[in-house]
Amino acid sequence: MLKVGLLTSGGDCQSLNATMRGIVKTLECNCKDGVEFYGFKDGYRGLMYGNYQVMGPRDFRGLLTRGGTILGTSRTPFKYIDQPDEHGLNKVEAMKSTYRKLKLDCLCVLGGNGSLKTANRLSEEGLNVVGLPKTIDNDTWGTEMTFGFPSAIDIATKTIDDIHTTASSHGRVFVIEIMGHKVGWIPLYAGVAGGADIILIPEIPYDIDNVMDAIDKRDSHGSRFSIVVVAEGAKTKEEAALSKKEYKKKLAARTVPSVAYELADEIAKRGNYEVRVAIPGHTQRGGDPSAYDRIFATQCGVEAGKCILEGTFGDMIAQIDGKMSRIALSKIAGKLKMVDPECDLIHEARMMGISFGDK
């Protein structure tokens, strides 16, 4: 009997369940000796404290279209992984103990950058681990795609689409804040898909004067409105020049809720425009997975199942050159995949007149 542990860690996304279903169905169909699944509750906490549910293939039926995660999730920051919990428990040793007590053959970790760093740590400690790249931000190094990202793009794009009608009706400038604290993949893709006029992302520091120039140009050409898509982690050129400590201090002193409101205030002060803010927020993580997300999640699940059947561990499932592949957890742990300011999509967006606020 094959024994496989499953956990979902970090921020949730729409296709966690679909990915687990892919793993389960692959093993169910190809494991001759039978398989038993151990679903750990609320991410690494479940593994740490032995909070799990013994599950069979039937428990994963009907999950292809269901968002969120049936196992629950939580954040267990990697930087605190070697610090004892409030009761003095050694977290890493506790997770290893649970794994060995249950005599697991493998642990599948569905998570983003921090979760995969912990997965790599457990792999280094001798556990059989397979990582799967979950994050709406698409910032996991070593893979071209993460599951959750396609669904988040669709939701963010729908928001931009819907704002267009009210913005044009009232002749307003709308600042739409899209998730992307450190990277700008969602705002870039959704901004292009939604026909934004200005897209501001962390990888390209902006100048407010350039933003105003883009808005003024549209106004002078007879456009009644402008759509500004801004990543939650977008920075001005001045902010980008600050040290990490100085930047954190500046954020702490911010008197408005977020960058979108700060930007909206600046636009209103500098031009004779009626400005509004729209923030889809956690809706970008919610709802059902998109069709493309279901496909990619399924592919990730199948590839993970193949790893387990082959006895190949210590890897993360990845899409490389458009094909499903694998990459060592040790190679991706601690790395962040940023948007390349010189990438094709940004060049193409600039050719269509989209401003990134840098020039």
What's the confidence (pLDDT) of residue 315?
98
Question: What's the confidence (pLDDT) of residue 336?
Answer: 97
Residue with tokens 């990134």: 356
Any catalytic annotation for residue 154? Answer: no
Instruction: Tell me the angle at which helices 113-124 and 91-101 cross, rounded to the nearest 10 degrees.
Output: 70
Pairing of strands 323-328, 315-320: antiparallel
The answer as to whether 128 is a domain residue is yes
pLDDT in tens, 7-33: 999 999 999 999 999 999 999 999 989
**pLDDT for the residue numbered 330:** 98
Neighbours of 258 (CB within 10 A): 17
Are both 279 and 295 inside the same structural domain?
no
What is the residue range of 100's domain?
2-136+287-320
Q: Does residue 333 belong to any structural domain of this protein?
A: no
- What is the structure's pLDDT at 181? 93
At residue 205, the 3 state secondary structure works out as coil
pLDDT at 356: 98
- How many structural domains does the chain have? 2
- In the numeric block, the tokens 């988040």 are attached to 152
pTM, rounded to two decimals: 0.96
pLDDT value at position 205?
98
Q: pLDDT by residue (tens digit) across 106-165?
A: 999 999 999 999 999 999 999 999 999 999 999 999 999 999 999 999 999 999 999 999
Contact between 110 and 135 (Cβ < 8 Å): no
Give the pLDDT of residue 88: 95
Alpha carbon 25 to its chain's center: 25
Domain containing 184 — which CATH number?
Answer: 3.40.50.460
- What confidence score (pLDDT) does residue 120 get? 98
Tokens of 19: 């990915």
Pick out the chain residues at pLDDT < 70. Answer: none
What is the pLDDT, as a whole number, of residue 216? 97
CB-based contact 182:114 (threshold 8 Å):
no
The catalytically annotated residue of 12, 59, 85, 137 is 137
